[in-house]
Amino acid sequence: MKLLLPLAATLAVLLAACGGGDGDNEPASTGTPSSPAGGSPAAAATVAGGSPTAAATAAAPTAAPTVEDRAEVEALLMAATLRLEDLPTGYTLDDEAFTTNEESAEDESDILAGPTLEDLNRFGRILGYEASYSQESSLGSLLEGGTLSLQVTTTLYQESDGADDAFEFVRDQASDPELVEAFEESFASSPGVEVQDASLTAMSFAELGDERLAYEFKVSAHSTDLDQDIEFIAHLVGVRRDRLIGSVTVLAVNEASPVEELEDVARTLDERMKDALE
């Protein structure tokens, strides 16, 4: 599973990172939400900084957001994201967190350079949220084939134009032929793994939001330790709805997850983003 994650994560990280808040106006601390179902603004502020007072203390000294600003942003992102009950059966929440501009800029892929802090500030990124889920049968899927994991991200922008610029940044990265080449090179010396082929292709997808993109990543490899050929498949869809960008990435082995299932999940994400902005 680790073999494909860097390639699949490259655009997922870009979608999570690109977005809306000026550097002077972004929330200053990262919190781990207590539940993807959301919560009150006061609770969100408490999660983010330990307490409403701590959140205010951690804010940037220049044009810093108030506690209410941070809480409102977190509450909006939680309302805009997918919940466990929105996913197909069998998933378990592994990890979730809010991400600031600084953290997103530091979390660049080793495969292809992501947006810099300057880029994120220029796009007007405010704050992001990401959650990772695994299938309860992931071990069996790894051995026999099937879905392994799912990642969801939502990112809030100050303005729709900034979100659009961020979305185009991701689209440009995906069209860069060096993306797959760099991936293959980065794993050429990986012990126990021989990459036989890697590809990134655009997928036909339902019309969602104001803009959407969808890609399929495939990596064929041979495990010298197991003496076994393995094909990893990741489907990623990104949707821009006004000043929000959401993404869903599903990772599978030997057998791709149904596209219809991904479309249902992405449609629900789009609906949640739309409702959160109203």
pLDDT per residue over 184-194, tens digit each?
A: 666 666 677 78
Is the confidence at residue 64, as pLDDT, over 60? no
3-state SS string for 176-228: CCHHHHHHHHHCCCCCCEEEEEEEEEECCCCCCCCEEEEEEEEEEEEECCCCE
115 vs 52, residue with greater confidence: 115
pLDDT digits (tens, 9 = 90+) for 248-267: 999 998 888 889 999 999 99
Taking phi first (over 0 means left), then psi (-120 to 50 degrees means alpha), and beta for anything else, what does residue 38 get? left
Walk me through the domains of the chain, giving residue ranges and CATH numbers.
5-29+86-277 (3.40.1000)
Query: pLDDT band at residue 59, thresholds of 50, 70 and 90?
Result: very low
Asked if pLDDT for residue 62 goes beyond 50, the answer is no
- 167 token code pair: 């979305």
How many whole angstroms separate alpha carbon 247 and alpha carbon 277?
Answer: 17
Q: How confident is the model at residue 195 (pLDDT cuts 50, 70, 90)?
A: confident
CA proximity to 272, closest of 119, 123, 137, 154: 154
Report whether pLDDT(4) > 80.
Answer: no
Helices 259-277 and 67-80 cross at an angle (nearest 10°) of 150
Q: Tens of pLDDT along 69-81?
A: 989 999 999 999 9
The arithmetic mean of pLDDT across residues 136-149, rounded, is 69
pLDDT digits (tens, 9 = 90+) for 84-129: 999 999 999 999 999 999 998 886 555 556 788 999 999 999 999 9
Kindly state the percentage of the chain with pLDDT values over 90.
Answer: 43
The tokens describing 24, both together, are 């002077």
Collapse the DSSP code of 114 into the 3-class scheme (helix H, G, I; strand E, B; otherwise coil) and give the result: coil
pLDDT score for 165: 96
- Is pLDDT of 43 > 50? no
